[in-house]
Structure 1
């Protein structure tokens, strides 16, 4: 049996992808292709999530209440983030198109990317494949931007992000 070394940031990406799939059937290779994470890493991620109580024993069903509790109370402590230098990138957190309708900011937050069309403070994505993975998955993009708000946001932003996450997760 593998040693449990604790949750990793990519585990959150995998869980958010499962949430975005809702009840659609999936296989490890589907997750691997859409998230740009190897099948073995998908397997290890789901194993860690099972040990943490975030997926069931079969590693197919997300334990939604437990996931929501972890996101709400643990994200900013387990995977904290401090915005970095100004770079080109893909808008995230309160700079995501959905959240722009609710908040204004002098400096956008972005996932660094040479192909990014926005300029703002860098936020490291939970996994390097996120930028490519969200290109064709608007729901995953919104979920991961909401997660970034939990990592770096202010109280009002966090409250809206939690409400959005609850809409999809619970």
Structure 2
């Protein structure tokens, strides 16, 4: 048995991609391609997630309640982030949908991306390929933006993000 060395940020991205897939059939290759993560890293990630109790032992069904609990109560402590320099990028946290439709703020947070549509304070994504992975995957984009709102947001933003994330994780 391989030794478990703790969760990594890409584990969250991979689990959220599976959740975003909903009923679509997926395999390691489609996850690898869709997230620009190697197949071996996808395999290792799913092993860590199974050990942590976030996906079943067959690595096919995400335990959404357990993942949601981790995201609500642990993500900001395990993978903290602080806003950085002003850069061009893809909006995230409260600057992206669905929170941008609920919260008005002069602060704009973005994942750095040369092809980005906004300028704002940089937020390091959970994994470097996130800005590429969310293009064309609206569900994944919303889930990751909500997770960033929990990681970086103030109390009100976090509470609204938790509510929106719970809706998406419970009813998907």
Q: TM-score, structure 1 length as denominator?
A: 0.97
> Contact 1:109 / 1:123 at 8 angstroms: preserved in 2?
yes
CA distance in 2, matches of 1:166, 1:105: 23
Q: How does 1:73-84 map to 2 (within 5 A)?
A: 73-84=73-84
> Contact 1:109 / 1:120 at 8 angstroms: preserved in 2?
yes
Aligned residues: 170
> Contact 2:97 / 2:145 at 8 angstroms: preserved in 1?
no
Q: Where does the alignment leave 5 or more consecutive residues of structure 2 unmatched?
A: none
Q: CA deviation at 1:107?
A: 2.2
Instruction: Assess, with a 3 A threshold, how the Cα gap between structure 1 residues 12 and 86 changes in structure 2: closer, same or farther.
Output: same
CA distance in 1, matches of 2:65, 2:90: 30
Alignment root-mean-square deviation, CA? 0.9
CA distance in 2, matches of 1:97, 1:165: 12
Q: TM-score, structure 2 length as denominator?
A: 0.96
2:102 matched to which residue of 1? 102
1:28 matched to which residue of 2? 28
1:46 matched to which residue of 2? 46
Q: CA deviation at 1:97?
A: 3.3
2:159 matched to which residue of 1? 159
Q: CA deviation at 1:166?
A: 1.2
1:66 matched to which residue of 2? 66
Q: CA deviation at 1:2?
A: 2.2
Aligned to 1:90, what secondary structure does the other structure show? strand
1:55 matched to which residue of 2? 55
4+ residue runs over 2 A deviation: none
> Contact 1:19 / 1:168 at 8 angstroms: preserved in 2?
no
Q: Where does the alignment leave 5 or more consecutive residues of structure 1 unmatched?
A: none
